[in-house]
């Protein structure tokens, strides 16, 4: 009996030794990763205000940038915040499919647009922060893709608010113009963000912020307007109202942190890895999206009689078509701006 016990203890001891060797084995198996560099070693338009270190070197192979998902640098948490959000949204979509018939029920299509657009913007954000450090051209290409994701999410926000959350009186005033205007504002938001990024070559950083924030603020103001009356005259019997308040509060918070690098300014150089305002912006934006999806789901369930009378079955098809148009137009805008960036980069390359 003692022999059996000793043999068992020996096997456990050997297993613990093997487990202890796992980190070293992973380190030996992984390719050597170049260290990060200071802000002075990357182009000016790669730099974030008050973030001094943790930049990945340019012009490494693609494998390096993919593996930097597990490296400590100043984009690590920007990547992981939206990667986790993407996975949470994917789980949320799976949960919704258990109770919502997204195929046969056309009234559910605006909700599906919101969820898909949320998954798209979070995925594009991950790609931009993960791969945008590869080169000058890759930086612009992937961030323009990120702005396409943001713009099509703005359309997704508009369609659920107009379809499920709108009151009869408000619907009568804007029914013919609301969604076409949402498409135009989404495209203007994409154009403003891309142009602001493009202007980094010649104009101050604040110009980029103005170009990004003003069109996005106009789009959000329009998109949230169908909910405004319910927010002003809220009732405790409305199960979705707390989530609508939540999405507005989270949006205003993330807008503040997007425009104001508060912590970096107060503690320059100490927020290079954790504590950047953009990281907080990502977290609040993800919380805003989750509140928005749940509020829209509650409206989809609880206000069916109202929105069924306001919207015919053809409206959902029309709004899906407008979503596709919005996406195509935003991709076209990004492609046009990328062409301008290529011209600038080619000119700089030839002038050296």
Please state the separation of Cα 89 from the chain's center in Å: 11
**φ, ψ for residue 37, nearest 5 deg:** -130, 170
Q: What are residue 55's DSSP bridge partners?
A: 37
Q: How far apart are CA 99 and CA 294, in angstroms?
A: 13
Residues 6+ apart with CB under 8 A from 117: 152, 153, 155, 156, 157, 323
On whether the CB atoms of residues 38 and 46 are closer than 8 A, the answer is no
Please state the separation of Cα 289 from the chain's center in Å: 9
Let me know the angle formed at the C-alpha of 112 by 111 and 116, rounded to the nearest 5 degrees.
120
Q: What are residue 37's DSSP bridge partners?
A: 55
In the chain, % helix, strand, coil (3-state, to 5) comes to 80, 0, 20
Residue 171 known to bind ligand: no
In terms of C-beta density within 10 A (0-12 exposed, 13-18 middle, 19 or more buried), how is residue 88 classed? middle
Q: How far apart are CA 185 and CA 197, in angstroms?
A: 18
3-state secondary structure of 37: strand
Residue 311 known to bind ligand: no
Alpha helix (H) residue ranges in 70-204 = 76-97, 109-131, 136-160, 168-174, 178-198
Q: How far apart are CA 153 and CA 10, in angstroms?
A: 57
On whether the CB atoms of residues 319 and 182 are closer than 8 A, the answer is no
Residue 129 known to bind ligand: yes
> Residues at the annotated binding site for Zn(2+)?
129, 278, 282
Which residues are known binding-site members?
129, 278, 282
């Amino acid at each position: 009996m003692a022999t059996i016990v000793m043999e068992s203890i020996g096997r456990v001891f050997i297993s613990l030794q093997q487990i202890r060797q796992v980190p070293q084995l992973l380190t030996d198996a992984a390719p050597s990763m170049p260290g990060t560099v200071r802000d002075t070693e990357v182009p000016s338009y790669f730099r974030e205000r008050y973030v001094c270190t943790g930049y990945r070197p340019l012009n490494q192979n693609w494998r390096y940038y993919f593996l930097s998902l597990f490296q400590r640098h100043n984009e690590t948490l920007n990547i992981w915040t939206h990667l986790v959000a993407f996975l949470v949204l994917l789980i949320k979509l799976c949960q919704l499919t258990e109770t919502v018939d997204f195929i046969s029920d056309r009234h559910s299509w605006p909700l599906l647009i919101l969820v898909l657009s949320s998954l798209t913007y979070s995925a594009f954000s991950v790609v931009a922060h993960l791969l945008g450090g590869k080169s000058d051209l890759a930086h612009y290409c992937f961030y323009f893709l990120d702005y396409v994701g943001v713009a099509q999410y703005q359309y997704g926000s508009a369609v659920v608010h107009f379809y499920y959350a709108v009151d009869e009186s408000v619907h009568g005033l804007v029914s013919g113009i609301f969604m076409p205007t949402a498409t135009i504002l989404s495209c203007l938001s994409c154009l403003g963000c891309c142009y602001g990024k493009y202007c980094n070559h010649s104009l101050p950083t604040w110009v980029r912020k103005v170009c990004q924030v003003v069109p996005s603020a106009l789009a959000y103001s329009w998109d949230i307007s169908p909910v405004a009356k319910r927010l002003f005259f809220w009732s405790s019997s409305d199960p979705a109202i707390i989530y609508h308040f939540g999405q507005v509060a989270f949006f205003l918070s993330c807008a503040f942190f997007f425009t104001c690098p508060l912590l970096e300014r107060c503690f320059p150089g100490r927020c290079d890895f954790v504590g950047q305002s953009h990281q907080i912006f990502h977290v609040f934006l993800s919380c805003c999206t989750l509140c928005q999806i749940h509020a829209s789901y509650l409206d989809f369930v609880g206000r069916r009689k109202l929105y069924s009378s306001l919207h015919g079955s053809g409206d959902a098809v029309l709004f899906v078509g407008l979503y596709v148009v919005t996406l195509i137009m935003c991709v076209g805008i990004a492609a046009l701006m990328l062409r301008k960036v290529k011209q600038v980069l080619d000119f700089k390359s030839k002038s050296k």
